[in-house]
Chain A
């Protein structure tokens, strides 16, 4: 499997942080054994170990804590993130015991108990928490639920997850690398992107309902490009909470009006460059071919739009850079 260059850099950063021996980073004195603190999570104020030694992670906490080199002993499966994992992180993923499937309802409580964790970090949206028997998990170890809200909130959420697991040092190293990279790219595009109106076609349109997914600022497909200076104009007609505050699903018939003002259109593609079904449906429509941005040759595919960690977002930033490069010359 081909791994993005920036993802390899993120992997190197993880190794460097490891080599520096920063289980607790510079300025972070090792806590006495058994020391605890109160942590504010989606499920309330929870008393957790200051330096947990055996952590179980599920959902969005899996990629965040693997990348932050937290002391994981068990995880849920995370198939959607496999294409963005570095070889090192993929090896970690393969090695760790799997205690839950892709959905919260597939949590294996006995398997978690057998691992004897001292902290459980659950990274699922609040509504999905109802599928998990939190009381049963609490009988095993302290449980902190830190789930996604807005898509772009992964920056804060992943940091809180790393904080709970006592793995901020590596996390901050990778975050700083991401910020350095995106600042450089933003400077590169400073003369181009801020003056343009962007629109994004997401992957999750439902063909059976004849609709497409439009993503605005702060959504999965747009938030990293925003760090480079892109502005996805407009907003949803009706706010639906969570990701539906920043993306909507209009009928395909509304494609010409939805993207009428867009000077540049980006659209989500799979990690291998192929088009998701919901995107292909739109790209094959005669309505797409009539859009001003498409006629002007300014429709660009974006890979790695599902990034939820700084390491994987570096691959996204590279993909945005590669996709938008023609704008520098036009």
Chain B
């Protein structure tokens, strides 16, 4: 009997593909389950009929007009936050970094606060535009001041976030109506967003995910340190600038459509890191699948945890995120970036 000797590298690659397939199957399963769970359960066959042979029944309407857009939003936002988390941890070489550290979230919140005070946040489109503009402007300021070293970038982001948070808080305390408007946006949630204009943000997220995949090979070199990256021929400044732009688009679009959901960007890279085995391209691929799985599971949890109604999904991600992060670190150790 002859045995086939498989080279180790191919074995690793095969395992990675297998894990990715498992993650994709899990994503599909969770997505279908999320379409059947809500204020009242809908049987899987009714879910499929609503998707592929819809009639005008209430159940079909609920699946097509509320749960399906919500699941799509969870997939887009989860992928965006997960991949943004990978990028920010790689370029900052900091395992505790998350997309909000660059000021995107607080910038968006500050813009919503100021916009509400000026009466510009009355509609969903207005809120979306303000969140995008605020997130982008905050990130530009962080880039401009903190450019040069990952540490300076992170510190600038933290400092700017503190300043903007303080100003936002002052405005909200002075103006109760602004407080109300901000309160609705600030609870990161996928509920009630099905009517918001999602096409442009989701297209932006899709484009940025493709960009992240393309950039990930060069980030592989950057993850080894600037000196090594340069010796391997990588243009460090260009790679870092590209990553920062992608982080801004991913986190900005996700925050604009769903509000701040903080824990996903931190935890997803840790969940994906072991399987990726130090490869940034695989890390990006896993994060793009695990992020949606985590957010969909959290979203289903947000619908069923309380008998009195839903809780915002950001509460569930925070509730799940802490224990899961501790479990991941204890189970696998702090894998290198």
Contact = CB atoms under 8 A, between A and B. Distances in A.
Contact of B65 (A210, A251, A281, A286): A286
Interface stretch (A18-26, A110-118, A253-261): A253-261
Contacts of A206: 184, 192
A209 B185 CA distance: 11
B56 interface: yes
A277 B38 CA distance: 23
Contact of A281 (B56, B192, B259, B312): B192
B61 A251 contact: no
A198 B192 CA distance: 25
B38 A253 contact: yes
Interface in B60-99: 61-62, 65-67
A326 interface: no
A234 interface: no
A209 B61 contact: no
Contacts of B7: none
B310 A285 contact: no
B176 interface: yes
A208 B312 CA distance: 7
Interface string B164-193: 000000000000100000001101010110
Given A287-B66, A290-B58, A207 B39 contact: no
A252 B61 CA distance: 11
A142 interface: no
A256 B40 CA distance: 12
Contacts of B192: 206-211, 252, 281
A94 interface: no
Interface in A196-218: 206-211
A201 to B, nearest CB: 15
Given A207-B192, A286-B65, A256 B39 contact: no
B191 A210 contact: yes
Contacts of B312: 208-209
B65 A238 contact: no
A251 B58 contact: no
A56 B67 CA distance: 52
A211 B308 contact: no
A233 interface: no
B79 to A, nearest CB: 22
Interface string B7-43: 0000000000000000000000000000000111000
Interface residues of B, number: 25
B196 to A, nearest CB: 10
B162 interface: no
Contact of B309 (A251, A257, A285): A251
B184 A207 contact: yes
A251 B39 contact: yes
A256 B185 CA distance: 26
A257 B58 CA distance: 8
B58 A210 contact: no
B235 interface: no
Interface string A286-306: 110010000000000000000
B195 interface: yes
Contacts of A287: 58, 61-62, 65-66
Interface in A206-245: 206-211, 238
Nearest to B38: A253
Contacts of B309: 209, 211, 249-251
A253 B40 contact: yes
B189 A209 contact: yes
B255 to A, nearest CB: 14
B58 A209 contact: no
Nearest to B187: A208
A284 B195 contact: yes
A24 to B, nearest CB: 38
Contacts of A290: 56, 58, 61
Nearest to B184: A208
Nearest to B63: A253
Contact of A251 (B38, B184, B187): B38
A251 B56 CA distance: 20
A251 B67 CA distance: 12
B313 to A, nearest CB: 10
A103 B156 CA distance: 37
A207 B190 CA distance: 10
B39 A253 contact: yes
Among all A-B residue pairs, the 4 with the closest Cβ atoms: A210-B191, A251-B39, A256-B58, A207-B192
29 contacts: A102-B176, A206-B192, A207-B184, A208-B191, A208-B312, A209-B309, A209-B312, A210-B66, A210-B191, A210-B192, A211-B192, A211-B310, A250-B309, A251-B38, A251-B39, A251-B303, A253-B39, A253-B66, A254-B40, A257-B58, A281-B192, A281-B195, A284-B195, A285-B65, A285-B195, A286-B61, A287-B65, A287-B66, A290-B58
Interface of B: 38-40, 56, 58, 61-62, 65-67, 176, 184-185, 187, 189, 191-192, 195, 259, 303, 308-312
Given A206-B192, A210-B66, 14 more contacts: A208-B184, A208-B259, A209-B189, A209-B311, A210-B191, A210-B192, A251-B38, A251-B309, A252-B66, A253-B40, A254-B39, A284-B195, A286-B61, A287-B58
Interface of A: 102, 206-211, 238, 249-254, 256-257, 277, 281, 284-287, 290
